Amino acid sequence: MKFLEILKEDSKQLVARGAEQIEIGQTLLGRPIYAYEIGCGRPVILAQYAIHAREHITYFLANLHAIDLLKSLGHGNGTVYIIPVVNIDGVALCLDGVDTAEYAKENLIKLNGESIDFSLWKANARGVDLNVNFHARWGTGKHNVLHAGSQNYIGSIPNSEPETRALIDFTKRIMPDFTLSFHCKGEVIYYDFHQELCAKRRDKRVAKVVSKSTGYKIIPSGKSAGGYKDWCIENLKIPSLTIEVGNDRLLHPIGREHLPKIWQKTHRIYDDLFKYLRHKKRIDIK
C-alpha cells in the first residue's frame, strides 16, 4: 500500500477510535496536515513526528502512541495533540518515489543529483529541510547549507515553507505546556537552546523524565539552529524536547521491522510525563 493510502486509512482509524482530527495547514503540494486531539484539559502536550522524510519510522510510531493514548488518557486528565507527519510530501517521495511529487518532479530529480532514488531524502518538495527553516537563530547552524537539496537547506527566508508555518500557527493557537519532536536516530534527547539558567534547569527536569522512561541519554544540542524545538524554546519560552529514536547502529531509513523495539522503549513517555506534571505541580512550566 502506498504511503498516502496508509495515511488516509490510519486517519480513519484514529477518528473512529475517538481522536478529533484538526487540519492545521497544507503542504507545498497542497496535502492537508492533520493534528489529532486526544483527551482534554491541561496540561497540554504537542508532539510532532516525521518532519524529516527519511525518518518516516516516526510516523508509524506516532500512530502507536496515539492508539495507546486513546486507551489510557482519561477525561480531564490532560491533552495531547499528535501530528503524525509534518512532511507528508517528503515522506511520500521517500517511500513511493518521485511520481508522488506532481509538478515538482523534474526539479526534484535535478536537486537529487539526477537520481530517482529518494530513500535518503530529508527535505520537503522544494528541497528545504523543514527542521532548519524555523525563525530561531536561522542560518547559524553548523551544517546549514544555502542551496536546495535533500538535506540541510535552510530556505530562502525563515519560516518560508507552508509546513513550517502550519506548525508555528498551530502551536501558537493551542499554546502547549511543552512540545516533543520525534526524530531518528541515536536514542538521545536534546532539550537546550540558549535558555537562561533557570529555564534550562526546568527543561532538563522534563528531559530526565523522558530519559528515565526510555533509557535514552540526554546530550547537549551542540551547534544546531532553526529547528522546531529551538523555535519553541526561544519564542514561547516553554520546554521542548527532541527525541531521537532508534539505535544509532541502524541505517537510514529505519525499516518497520524495528518499530516494535522502538515502541517498547518509548511507549511510556506520555504516561510518565503526565504523572510528573501532576505530582510536581506542573514543574512551573510557565
**Per-residue model confidence (pLDDT) at position 35:** 98
pLDDT recorded at residue 1: 93
* pLDDT score for 254: 98
Those residues whose C-beta lies under 8 Å from the C-beta of residue 1, and which sit 6 or more positions away, are: 9
Superfamily (CATH H level) for 59-258+267-284: Zn peptidases (3.40.630.10)
Instruction: Return the SS3 of 210.
Output: helix
> What is the predicted pLDDT for the residue at 80?
97
pLDDT attached to residue 199: 96
Q: Is the dihedral of CA 259, 1, 26, 175 positive or negative?
A: negative
Cα–Cα distance measured from residue 97 to residue 95, given in angstroms and rounded to the nearest whole number: 6
Q: What's the pLDDT at 278? A: 79
Domain boundaries, the chain: 59-258+267-284
Q: Which 3 state secondary structure label does DSSP give 48? A: strand
What pLDDT shows up at residue 103? Answer: 85
| pLDDT value at residue 281 | 53
Q: How far apart are CA 73 and CA 77, in angstroms?
A: 7
Instruction: Considering only the C-alpha atoms of the chain, give the largest distance between any 2 of them, rounded to a whole number of Å.
Output: 55
CB-side exposure of 189: number of CA atoms within 13 Å? Answer: 24
Q: Which residues of the chain have pLDDT under 50?
A: 282-283, 285-286
pLDDT of residue 66: 97
Supply the pTM of this predicted model: 0.96
Provide the pLDDT for residue 123.
98
